[in-house]
Structure 1
């Protein structure tokens, strides 16, 4: 596998362009879920009404026309998006050790430390989104910490600390694991991690990623209680894997859907937890999940399906997680070949060559070309950087074998 696929897909040039564009915007941008940042919606007083919040958010998420400028939604930095950029910059160091890019990653890491929640209130480092977030299950005001954002930032800070040796990043990541551990919800005979403080909904990807980050913190701080809670949560979600290898999104009645990128999250999180603990306890669960993943989320032409039972929408985030899952959790020759085909297909269907970036989603009839930073470009940059680094490593391995 090389950085240029058999289909003339130039991953390096595209990753370079994505990074250059992100710099021009100072790593700020729009988000599919930032509609509630609207000045107009706030002035109308509609934020008081739950159904109005959900409807307004979904309007902006689903509209192929970007209305944000008209309703007063500003471009902003998203903490999770910044974490993805840091992860991408660190992957690039595996190929080219560019000092300025490491300096850039450090500056972004320091920005993330400054964006943490008030530790007098939450006790630990933790992060939320830069917008109010409304869903059927809960309403989360701007800045309130959540598991997934905190997990990805902790991962970026761990990676940054490992590369630089700067303790401030590693210490913050360990402490973020303690925040996640505070989200633990014990049940009669098991337990899991909640998505946000004060809620008890079981969402598998949030619980599993929390378990993986708590596992890393437990190892680094030698905390046996954290270790047991992480294992318990991983065992509970593993026990809820269906016989065919799939997971529904969560435990609530409206969480029965099965989609590709959340399935990828689950598999990557379990793999990361195993690596942290040096165990193979979840290998059979991962193997069964990977068989389901390969079989149900890819078409022969490389199209990445959004749902197990529906192709649409074709989504850049789904493609990015597919690249990471197939290479990091799978890693077979067949997986590497599939990644080449997946990226080639994404290049043909989602890449906007005249703008040097990816579209958000392609539906059956319409393509949503809105430029979303966190959901689209940051994920694409991270996935392509990881792909390039893995390709370089694979070439070295083959050269040494010969």
Structure 2
């Protein structure tokens, strides 16, 4: 195994493991076997990307947190050596910048403009509305035919409705923005498709920001419009921020709802504990464990070194790309004993599913609250919920930046 996984300098003839790596057949929740082997044998190792480049893959939890907090590591996606996920992502990065691919102080200045709506108190004030939406979607699903697709019935519409309300985006446009966001985050989308989808969404959000300038409301786009009015942002910059918030605000949570349901249905003992829980703390711990166990952002956090850095027994040189693979970090047995066991009683709060450091996910309070509501409601409302097909028949999303299932056929006993 060590010989086949040897990570060598890119100028040698020895083959490097290709990234992203395939998951093992029959193990849809586990990180890829090659990544787990590297974690054990060479936790900082070179891998080969689609364009022939050979960035460093960092697989151990401690090294990941150290690098994600290191100011010598840059998120700037326009720098030479940055390990882009595809030609489409590279082309898109060259055309427009997002604040999540900026470094401080520019990153901090722009991020501060949108932190307020994600403050825990403001998110908690939304919980009753999220509960109402969840119950209504479940009511509709129960009234319809079986099997039902849980993705279309609940997992996708719930976070889409919530982020639309938070931003001030008309939900009736959901087919448009869901279709384009799917193109944007798919590794196999062409450069033209990625750029075109981003352009379409940016034009759409730009029009909404213009409308909010003329007629503001109580939503995030109106707050961004005020920043435009004050000269702190251009309208296009505000639109770019809106695209990021809209796409990230529904894609990640939608996939967590669906994939978390699959994981729980495959672990009925854990599902029973969650379903019967009266204490919200039990549900909260279950959410954290599922975030750890699934690590749905499965394409890695991508960075580039600004200076030479010693980590994990290797020297990452200035200008070399870095991929922090949090899937293996969340399965690091030194931090999470028996990581391959789903244990909703585990204290998993230290996971890196939301990243770490200054670029840690801005929307994590919202995601946590939505997941707590759904996981605390769905299985109690439908205690006989079960898969309507074998797990080996589910269409898993191996081709995107976010892991999940395209469809989730479920049924239940009336």
TM-score, scaled relative to structure 1: 0.26
User: Larger radius of gyration, structure 1 or 2?
Assistant: 2
Say which structure is richer in helix: 1
Larger RCO (CA under 8 A, 6+ residues apart)? 2
